[in-house]
Chains A and B, each alone.
Chain A
Amino acid sequence: MAHRDREESGVSCGALQDGSPEARQNEVYRKLIRVMDPELGLSIIKLGLVYDMEIEDGAVTVTMTLTTPACPLGEVLTRDVRRVVGELPWVTAVEVRIVWEPRWSPAMIR
């Protein structure tokens, strides 16, 4: 997985220009990979729960889902995402959208 290699080596990211859209996406990605489902011990990225990410200036919008509408962890994951992404110095606002379409399926696990 190229992006994992990138994340762990920290080399490729350094090749990106600071402040470029790609660099910022990488930074957000590396933050999101820390947010995990505590029961499975897997990142929300690994589980395929993150559908989309938009960055406009310092405002980050993360669109994600949960494995089921019966899952009570939506607020917790939302707070965790907001917290870790908000740690980035250039981030001025974080919005998390929980969506149910498309419906999550195990095929989305990476």
Chain B
Amino acid sequence: MESGDDPVMTSPPAPASSAQPAAVAGGPAAEVGARRAASLTRPVPGRPALILPAILSLLAGLYAGLVRAGWGLLPLSANLAATHGPLMISGFLGTGIGVERAVALGRRAGFVVPALTGLGALALLAGLPGPWGVVLIAAGSGGLVGASLSITRRQPALHHVTLALGALAWLGGNLLWLTGWPVYRVVPWWAAFLVLTIAGERLELNRVLFLSRGARAAFAVTVAALLAGVLLTTVAPAAGSRVEGLALLVTALWLLRHDVARRTVRQAGLTRFIAVAMLSGYVWLAVGGVLFAVEASRLVGGPPYDAALHSVFVGFVFSMIFGHAPIILPAVLRVVVEYGPRYYAHLALLHLSLALRAAGDLGGWWELRRGGALLNVAAILLFIATTVRGVRRGARHHVIAGPDGARPAERFP
């Protein structure tokens, strides 16, 4: 698109002078100079405290996962193994998404969401008697619904509605969990929460590709089918899981067909890494969808349940996390994460170990499943170690404006 000879203006449809500032940043001359670099790595008070319960949930959830996989570790607490799913999904991912959404909103009230879910996760970890952990997490998920609706009100659009529906699925699942439903009956809701959240964000990003009306309609129908499947699981678990599985498969195929990662994978550095992580995650979402549909009647525990759930939660969700951590951590914690090719190591290990695990699940090879689960944990720990290294190196080099030192592309390849 040509922009004329004016090197500065982007020709907004309305005069810029009519723009209403939503947030103003900036400052006096002291902003300029040596202090600028220092400000890039200055921690934001309060946010690390909100992230800490998420990290604790992740580590405890991984430990509980190993116990569940049969590694015979000391269970540390009586119900730790039973809290694996809630810790990973609500304690880690829910809190992380809450912080991300709060940072985007830029309002203090938004941080109540991750504070509540973080406290809830800590209550689960501490094994507090009574439903306090679940109550706090459910309250936090209600807050995320409010935050998401606030964004939808500000800019009504399909992608924002999808985000809000994802938050609503999380809340719905948590309320069922609060009333005593077992985790395996709540999992379809939690899967919808994460899949709709990620798919909604991708739909937003994919606007740069000028999606056709048909593609957007297909997306909307798939979201509706996914939610219909989730609702159906409450009265007919097998039928509901079958519908949800098919919707997950179609979501994956839609993303593989329409996602901008297909183009950005031809770029370089971090941009390419994110695209590889997303595209490989979509393959696992498709696998998870097929397993949800085919094994619908057996999704109450055991090997098929393990393979279906971890295809979605590890293969799809963690792949997305691996891809986006280098750009989300700077946004949330005000740190600089230096990217390097070594990031492919933990991504490759994640996919390889999950393939081993799923093969073990489906083939009845117990040791393969156990080994795959262990390597899943190793991949996530390697990711953490690589990210910490990237933060340390980022603090020294203050790399910005271009992934891996690359110049911005002039157009999509």
Write the nearest CB–CB distance from B157 to chain A, whole angstroms.
Answer: 8
Known interface pairs A29-B7, A82-B36, A95-B25; A100-B31 also in contact (CB < 8 Å): no
**Interfacial residues of chain B within 385-403, with CB under 8 A of chain A in the complex:** 400-403
The chain A residue sitting closest to B260, CB to CB, is A40
User: In the complex, which residues of chain A have a beta carbon less than 8 angstroms from the beta carbon of B9?
Assistant: 52-53
Tell me whether A93 and B26 are in contact in the complex, defined as CB-CB below 8 angstroms, given that A69-B154, A83-B36 are known contacts: yes
**B106: nearest residue on chain A (CB-CB)?**
A74
Cβ contact within 8 Å between A80 and B21: no
Once the chains are docked, how many angstroms separate the CA of A100 from the CA of B163?
19
Interface flags, B15-37, vs A, CB<8A=1, else 0: 01111111111111101110011
Neighbouring B residues of A94 by C-beta, 8 Å: 26, 31-32
Q: B27: which A residues are within 8 A, CB to CB?
A: 93, 95
Q: Is the CB of B20 within 8 A of A68?
A: no
The contact sample of 6 A-B pairs, CB cut-off 8 A, is A39-B264, A47-B208, A58-B29, A92-B29, A93-B29, A110-B3
Tell me, in angstroms, the Cα distance from A29 to B5 when the chains sit together: 13
Q: Are B31 and A48 in contact (CB under 8 A)?
A: no
Chain A, range 82-110, C-beta contacts under 8 Å to B = 82-84, 86, 91-103, 105-106, 108-110
The answer to whether residues A108 and B25 also contact, given A34-B401, A97-B19 and a CB cut-off of 8 A, is no
Q: Are B4 and A2 in contact, with the CB atoms below 8 A?
A: yes
Interface residues on A, range: 35 or more
Complex CA gap A45/B324 in Å reads 22
Give per-residue flags for B312-349: 1 if the beta carbon is below 8 A from chain A beta carbons, else 0: 00000000000010111011101000000000000000
Chain A interface (Cβ < 8 Å from any Cβ of B): 1-4, 6-7, 25-26, 28-29, 33-36, 38-43, 45-53, 58, 61, 63, 67-76, 78-80, 82-84, 86, 91-103, 105-106, 108-110
Query: Could you tell me if A63 and B16 are in contact, using CB atoms closer than 8 angstroms?
Result: yes
Provide the residues of chain A in CB contact with B208, threshold 8 Å. Answer: 40, 42, 47, 106, 109
A46–B409 CA distance with the chains assembled, in angstroms: 9
B67 within 8 Å of A (CB atoms): no
Known: A69-B105, A70-B151, A70-B204. A41 touches B16 (CB 8 A): no
Contact A38 B327 (CB under 8 A): yes
| Contact, CB under 8 Å: A99 / B204 | no
B64 proximal to A (CB < 8 A): no
Complex contact A109–B5 (CB within 8 A): no
Q: A52-B16, A93-B29, A96-B26 given as contacts; is B104 within 8 A of A34 (CB)?
A: no
Q: State whether B32 touches A97 (Cβ < 8 A).
A: no
Contacts of A82 in B (CB 8 A): 25-26, 31, 36
Q: List residues of chain A with CB within 8 A of the CB of B264.
A: 39-41
Are A72 and B331 CB-contacts (below 8 A) given A36-B401, A106-B210?
yes
Min CB–CB distance B135 → chain A (angstroms): 27
B257-288: which have CB < 8 Å to A?
260, 264, 267-268, 270-271, 274
In the complex, are the beta carbons of B19 and A80 less than 8 A apart?
A: no
Say which residue of A3, A98, A106, A109 sits within 8 Å of B7 (CB atoms). Answer: A3
Query: Which residues of chain A are near B16, meaning CB under 8 Å?
Result: 51-52, 63
* B78 close to A (CB within 8 Å): no
The docked-state distance in angstroms from the alpha carbon of A76 to that of B394 is 14
Do residues A102 and B13 form an inter-chain contact, with CB atoms below 8 A?
yes
Q: How far is the CB of A41 from chain B (nearest CB, A)?
A: 4
- Known contacts A39-B324, A52-B19, A93-B29; 16 further A-B pairs (Cβ under 8 A): A2-B5, A3-B6, A3-B7, A40-B271, A41-B264, A41-B406, A48-B10, A53-B8, A68-B159, A79-B400, A82-B26, A92-B29, A94-B32, A95-B24, A100-B20, A100-B155
Interface presence of B74 (CB below 8 A): no
**CB-defined contacts of B267 to chain A, threshold 8 Å:** 41
Is A93 a contact partner of B28 (Cβ separation < 8 A)? yes
| 9 nearest A-B residue pairs (beta carbon) | A95-B26, A52-B16, A41-B271, A3-B7, A86-B32, A99-B19, A43-B408, A34-B401, A92-B29
